Amino acid sequence: MWEGRARTARRDIAALATSGLGVVDLHAAAIEVVEQVVGSELTCWAGIDPGTLVISSMTSGRDRIPAEYEPRLAETEYAGTVPNSFAELARRSDAVARLSDLPYRDVVGHRRLNEVWRPLGLEHEVRATFTVDGDCWGAAGFVRSGSDYSDREVEFLGSVAAVIGAATRVAVRTDAHGYGAGVGPAIVVTGPGGEPRAITAAARTWQDELNEIAPGRFAVLLRAVVTGTRAAGTFQARVQTASGGWVVLQGSRLIGDSDEEVVVTIEPASGHHLVGMLLAAYGLTTREREICLEVISGHTTAEIADRLSISPHTIQDHLKAAFAKVGVRSRGELVATLRPEDLTVRPGSSLP
């Protein structure tokens, strides 16, 4: 029974990943799926920045924690001394942690339990992190009174954690591009052969745009991205459109009952996406590329010298060589050439 419920939940959450929801809305919908199996009186899900492990968004279940307890909860999260914080769990190999499994001394003195949950009449907590391909994209806490969380419930949360992580990763890309005004994200879910199983309206527009160059080009690109994603977990391809612009196809494995499904998002390329390719196109050496990237990031010569452990004189020599290859005379011109402001293109549009 539990295995069947876990399969159903993974399938439902995987479907949410293709619906174009942002992180908050995705987590709100996933809470409803998970709470059909793991009951709680309070639940809060967090989006996590995988680079810093800092909470980037919060989504509550039906009931919210009273406002006066939120500062205390936040303090226990970032104090660095309270067991089972989201950041601590993100660094561990196990995705789920039950408060009662801690050593007795840690449970008795647990600040979150004593300062937040017990004053609210709650006794039991279980937490899960949503990690995929080594990056933590979210986490959730569940608390209730009455009976503790069972081994079956802990096992269920562990079985759905990865698919929630994969879905959250896709939702982050939706949020990052601020889709609005009726323009949704371009998402394709592919099957074993790279064939589309589900495709959004925006993705169909990109399909038409890419197929203008050659019939069937979109299908070929999908197959290439899917192949690369299965080999590496994630995969990115930059391709040109019929109008001369660039788009990025990003593949991610969609963890479910099989690893055959890959979700591919399509988005306009920005200067950030293209800078590496431009550096290579101008024939810059590895060291010249490193220094140019530092310049583009706004670092001074002294900062670059410190970061790369080379002398300012050597940096200037490499920059002179890079200027000559790119055909510019200053750092400002270099940045303008390698990171032009208007490198994006929307489906059906043309570059100025």
> What backbone torsions phi and psi does residue 22 show, to the nearest 5 degrees?
-75, 180
Verify that 261 and 318 share a domain, yes or no. no
Number of other CB atoms surrounding residue 214 within 10 Å: 10
Instruction: With H, G, I as helix, E, B as strand and everything else as coil, classify residue 48.
Output: strand
Confidence (pLDDT) at 261: 81
Confidence (pLDDT) at 177: 62
The tens-digit pLDDT sequence of the chain (352 residues) is 778 888 899 989 988 887 888 899 999 999 999 999 999 999 999 999 988 898 989 999 999 999 899 989 999 998 889 999 999 999 998 889 999 999 999 999 999 999 999 999 999 999 999 998 889 999 999 999 999 999 999 999 999 999 999 999 888 877 766 654 445 678 898 887 788 888 888 889 889 888 888 888 898 899 889 888 888 878 888 887 877 777 889 888 877 655 578 889 888 876 666 677 778 778 889 899 899 988 988 899 999 999 999 999 999 999 999 999 888 999 998 888 887 554 444 444 433 3
- Residue listed under structure tokens 């479907």: 15
Confidence (pLDDT) at 352: 31
Pair 264, 225: CB distance under 8 Å: yes
CA distance 168 to 16: 10
CA distance 169 to 158: 18
Confidence (pLDDT) at 186: 86
Show the tokens assigned to 245.
């612009």
Residue 351 lies in a domain: no
Q: Residue 310's Cα: distance from chain center in Å?
A: 34
CA distance 106 to 147: 20
Give the list of residues 6+ apart from residue 313 with CB closer than 8 angstroms, or none: none
Verify that 108 and 219 share a domain, yes or no. no
Verify that 151 and 249 share a domain, yes or no. no
Verify that 167 and 67 share a domain, yes or no. yes
Residue 349 lies in a domain: no
DSSP for 148-170, written as a single string: PPPHHHHHHHHHHHHHHHHHHHH
Question: What's the CATH number where 301 sits?
Answer: 1.10.10.10
Verify that 168 and 147 share a domain, yes or no. yes
212: domain range? 186-269
Q: What is the tally of structural domains in the chain? A: 3
Verify that 116 and 254 share a domain, yes or no. no
Residue 181 lies in a domain: no
Pair 234, 249: CB distance under 8 Å: no
Residue 343 lies in a domain: no
CA distance 107 to 99: 7
CA distance 210 to 239: 9
Confidence (pLDDT) at 268: 80
Verify that 108 and 153 share a domain, yes or no. yes
Confidence (pLDDT) at 345: 41
Q: Of 176, 197, 218, which marks where a domain is finished?
A: 176
Pairing of strands 96-98, 55-60: unpaired
- Strand partners of residue 223: none
Task: Report the interhelical angle of 151-176 vs 2-17 (nearest 10°).
Answer: 10
Q: Of 215, 236, 269, which marks where a domain is finished?
A: 269
Pair 96, 154: CB distance under 8 Å: yes
Verify that 18 and 165 share a domain, yes or no. yes
Residue 348 lies in a domain: no
Verify that 217 and 318 share a domain, yes or no. no
- Which amino acid belongs to residue 198? A
> Quick one: DSSP state of residue 68?
G
Verify that 256 and 326 share a domain, yes or no. no
Residue 132 lies in a domain: yes
- Residue listed under structure tokens 């959730």: 140
Question: What's the CATH number where 100 sits?
Answer: 3.30.450.40
Verify that 101 and 202 share a domain, yes or no. no
Verify that 168 and 44 share a domain, yes or no. yes
Question: What's the CATH number where 256 sits?
Answer: 3.30.450.20
Q: Of 176, 211, 244, which marks where a domain is finished?
A: 176
Number of other CB atoms surrounding residue 258 within 10 Å: 8
